[in-house]
Structure 1
Amino acid sequence: MGTPLGDFVRAKRDSIQPASLGLPDHGRRRSPGLRRSDLATRAGISVEYLTRIEQGRDRNPSIAVVNALADALGLDAAERDHLRYLTKISGGECVAHTRPAPPSRHVRPSVLRTLRLLEPGIALVTNRMGDVLAHTGAFEAVTRGTGLLDSDTPNLTRYVFTDPRARSFFADWDDVADERAFDLWLGPSLDSHEWFTAELAPAAGPELTRRLNRHVVPRRGDLRLRHPSGPELRLVRETLELSADAQQLLVLLPADEATAEAVHELSRPSHGGLRAIS
């Protein structure tokens, strides 16, 4: 049985063309990308050891080996962080309980007061699972008619993968789907990850499974939304980590004047203001 660490190393190795590293192309091969022997040489480890890591038979590589693999694969800063995180959970430092539980949906009063100060802006409190825990009236306005907030416990990840309307609402659905899948690896805990993926996987199908196993670190650019009433919104995302709560405060700022005007129109009259979802 493999591990997230082994899957990530193998996926990155398969995605690298030897010529990009100045290595000769040895002709036809059974699998794409960089040969295992080439990566092992670049990382200064044996092919046998690299094979054990990729196959999940070695779950505790040293920090030196992890850094050497990151260098050999040419990982950027975000990918290096992900590699270290996968090393941690693959090594068993985060052990799931027998009956994993969903993450808490509680939002601290001070966070709710902060969110209130952001009215009439577009903002929400969420976690890595995608639970929408609280939001401003403007967030409700720009998502009205999309189905995102229809549930008593709305969840961005479930919406992206299971609601057909999401593909129309998110102009760059593929990128958003990659982001949602990647964030599942980041918590808020391994327990929550196992609980949520077990619940979501049957409904989401291969779209989720494939993206989880690819371990693609997303490039988070502007968020483009196609509102059902017509306007396309382009929003800059600013994320504030609430690390003590394993939550995030996400603020969406109009990227241009047309978006600002459209948001203003969608928000008139305001419906309900700030809402916390218990």
Structure 2
Amino acid sequence: MDGELGAFLRSRREALRPEQVGLPTNGRRRTPGLRRAELATLAQVSVEYLTRLEQGRDTRPSPGILAALAEALRLDDADRRHLQQLASVDHRRQLCAGGRPTVSRTVRPQVRTLLEALRDRPAYLINRIGDVLAWNGPFDRLARPLGLLDDERPNLVWFVFADERAPEHFPDWADLADQQVADLHRLRGGDPAADAFAQRLDRTVGEPFQSRWQRRPVAVQPSGVRWLRHPEVGPLRLSYETLELADDQQRLVVQQPTDAESTAALDRLLGRRPGSLRSVAG
């Protein structure tokens, strides 16, 4: 993640408006965000030192400086955790030279058993870059008509951004795209395969991915509700819960309907008798 600490700080400085920190907005600005001198004053560091941080020439700020920058930038909890992670990644490099994380594509037998046990709810397993590694029967019936499983190695992030069918299937496509990029940023962890994947998306998709990637979002929603326009049964409103698997950098996602209409539609799709699956409030 060479240069990522500085790039992250710069992205948050450029996103923070002067009025948010009590500074006047009069005068011409080349960008809407804070100037380096303004952030340096708020954090009580020198402009020269802040410049070195943002340009990646200094990657070992003290905890006190990190805390001052986080406070000056009005970072939320997710951004603060990510900033600490970026700093600790660089420290780990010197302690564990050559030990880079890799994208895991191996599914443990216990996880496959768990997927098979979820017989009445769509569930799937993804790794840090969105590869769909394994899934159960209900998810196959749900996702295959969308085209998500067309590729030999399906990838959720790639489908959302690069497949022209995705915006048609997902009415909340923009929010879904934001979340996919946030997950990718949060989990990349210095893995060159993750960065290479992001570069391929950048070349293939262009601005819709590039603009989100440059904002460096990291806030995630491990649970929530998604709307889906299914080509066979129509609108579906599905809640999702994301479970992080220890040590695997993999996530198990389980979906279930949130209302009576979605429950009936999912029953039809899966060939079940009506009412066999209970919806959840959402």
Show the counterpart of 2:161.
Answer: 161
Alpha-carbon distance in 2 for matches of 1:56, 1:188: 17
1:188/1:61 CA distance change after superposition, 3 Å: closer
Q: Report what 2:227 is aligned to.
A: 224
Please, which runs of 5 or more residues in structure 1 have no aligned partner?
271-278
Equivalent residue number for residue 204 of structure 1: 205
* Structure 1 residue 188, shift from structure 2 partner: 6.5
Instruction: Compute the displacement of 1:217 (Å).
Output: 3.0
| In 1: Cα distance, 2:246 partner to 2:169 partner | 29
Deviations 1:221-277, CA, capped at 9 Å, x for gaps: 42221112352222222111112211111111222222222111111169xxxxxxx
Residue range with higher mean Cα deviation, 202-211 or 253-262: 202-211
Corresponding position of 1:233: 236
Instruction: Provide structure 2 residue ranges, at least 5 long, that are not aligned to the other structure.
Output: 274-282
Contact 1:126/1:133 (<8 A) preserved: yes
One-letter code aligned to 1:11: S
1:108 partnered with 2:108: yes
* Higher mean C-alpha displacement, 85-94 vs 30-39: 85-94
2:57 is aligned to 57
For residues 45-95 of structure 1, the C-alpha deviation after alignment (integer angstroms, 9 at most, x for no partner) is 111111211222222212221122111111111111222233344668299
**What aligned pairs does 1:79-94 form with structure 2 within 5 A after superposition?**
79-89=79-89, 93=93
Deviations 1:2-24 (A, max 9, x none): 82222222221122222222222
Kept after mapping to 2: 8 A contact 1:160/1:177? yes
Alignment root-mean-square deviation, CA: 2.6
Q: Does residue 255 in structure 1 map to residue 258 in structure 2?
A: yes
- Identify if the C-alpha distance between structure 1 residues 205 and 30 changes in structure 2 by more than 3 Å, giving closer, same or farther: closer
1:36-55 matches, cutoff 5 A: 36-55=36-55
Contact (CA 8 Å) 1:102, 1:196: kept in 2 or not? Answer: no
Q: How many residues align?
A: 267
CA gap 1:91/1:52 in 2 versus in 1, 3 angstroms: farther
Contact 1:129–1:188 (CA<8 Å) still a contact in 2?
A: no
Aligned equivalents of 2:251, 2:143: Cα separation in 1:
19
Aligned to 1:187: 188
Shift of 1:141: 1.9
Paired AA for residue 215 in structure 1: R
Higher relative contact order (CA 8 A, sep 6+): 1
Task: Indicate the residue corresponding to 1:6 in structure 2.
Answer: 6
Report the residue type matching 1:30 in the other structure.
Answer: R
SS in 1 for 2:141: helix
Aligned counterparts of 1:60 and 1:188: Cα–Cα separation in 2: 17
Alpha-carbon distance, 1:111 to partner: 0.8
Distance 1:10 1:184, change over 3 A: same
TM-score for both structures, normalised by structure 2: 0.85
Instruction: Pick closer, same or farther for the CA change 1:162–1:91 going to 2, 3 Å.
Output: farther
| CA-to-aligned-CA distance 1:124-162 (integer Å, 9 cap, x gap) | 111121011111211122223211001111110111121
2:101 touches 2:190 (CA, 8 Å); kept in 1?
Answer: no
Counterpart Cα distance in 2 of 1:172 and 1:152: 26
Contact 1:138 1:267 in 2 (8 A): yes
Q: Which amino acid aligns with 2:202?
A: A
Mapped partners of 1:83, 1:254: distance in 2: 36
Residue identity (%): 43
Amino acid paired to 1:39: L
- Which residue does 1:173 correspond to in 2? 173
**What residue is the counterpart of 2:245 in the other structure?**
242
